[in-house]
Chain A
């Protein structure tokens, strides 16, 4: 369906994917109305610093925003903030808003992101228990980031571990509770888990794996203790919850758009309604380098799908579908990840783990499918390209540090 002569484009959500879609639509020459409906009070901003520099107080709030307010005015983009979209009516081509009123669309982009999984234990609603997703969460957390305070983090995923690193650097007493037997269990290999666990321990955080939180206890409505399934208790002045996210698919689902752990899209970010697109954390897209569909939770994915949707609407050639990538900063460690490691059958370590400068490559039937690179940009950047070409690499070549990544990449087939 050709939508390039659309008069009105509506974007539901005001995050990374929405901001990208706005910029790309104008770049691709769309001159009609753009309405961005965002539930948060803030204009679109970057989330990664929320668990890194911004949490630590090293980045001013205005530096989180992708674009200043004036840009939206200049670009004639109507930002409807602090308002939730409550319904999509596909036959009328309208979106209903929380406080009444509707907006009509010729093309619709759903960029509703995801929300933190709720902590399913008693006491989760006590004061001092926080999620880490929005600017508003960090505003509540930051005044309590005081040296000596006891912080319990539930969940050793990237966000939990990044928060642990910030809190340790600010002098808090940190305990991380993880149900699985190792940290980052769902996203990385045992070698990497072991490395991060050792690093956090060395930095003075207490990492408790195989530890299931049973409940939170409090006094006067404020959290004071975390009770584990084995009956042991930990004192807590604050609890941060980082146990994963759920995609915000309900609006699409209720409108009858196909969802399967995410709003299902084709390579152009189009749903099964040709006028409706989905981008970012809420979408399940074809992962072209892996021959399957999947939902990604990353900046790269949100940017790319924002661009894909805008290009498809404007009838432009499809922008490149890059190898998925992600990063995480903890202490002075920069982790850069290229590719998706889920289905690996072999790992290869390159570099020196002790020196905190190494990479773990993931192979499947001899083909490079992913890398986790610690303080090692060449391994990350070279792999990003190699993964897209479907390169086969011998383990002994990958681990041979007498050859540079440039040389290895040049020789790869």
Chain B
């Protein structure tokens, strides 16, 4: 097997007395979708926040392509090929759908210390942004203001913005949360189509999505990985059933603009 693109070892993060990440080991291999499941409050979002650099961890290491990225800033990690989507969408409300993506394309192209040429007449830039919107099925909403679009569209836009950074590893925090059945099915199809472009760490409550997409699944409970394996192994595991799958799952998550 090839080298993992993401390799997490012994990661620990506590908030006061609460251990939100408890010696977590996770690997994501190239071309793989690794799903991370677990009940509410298990520490999934906290883990993503550490992977993308928003939160610093107390112990352990995070390596990208075998090189540690501990202490590397959020922005620099993006340039190393990491992009994330937010569970609670975090978009630019006074920009249009297209502009949200175009900004990510612009940053991907290099520094933004260009002070004179109008960016909105940069047709090459906008065309690239349009292409990313088309990939998530939002092309016809390009000119809508983000403040005015629907929840499902926000979720799609979160993905398009992440794609615009052209990441090698996507960290997706509940991309289907709050989507209807039709939208969810669309999102599953989109993600399946992206598999050849980027590896993914997929946090998701929707078990149909997880079992349809994942190559590997890790189960997080109270900050600890209690099981990790193929979907079949996870489905068969008594421990997982007891800890998680048995209880009512698919809890919808709240959604706000941050």
| A, B assembled together | no
Could you tell me which A residues sit within 8 Å of B by CB distance? none
Could you tell me which B residues sit within 8 Å of A by CB distance? none
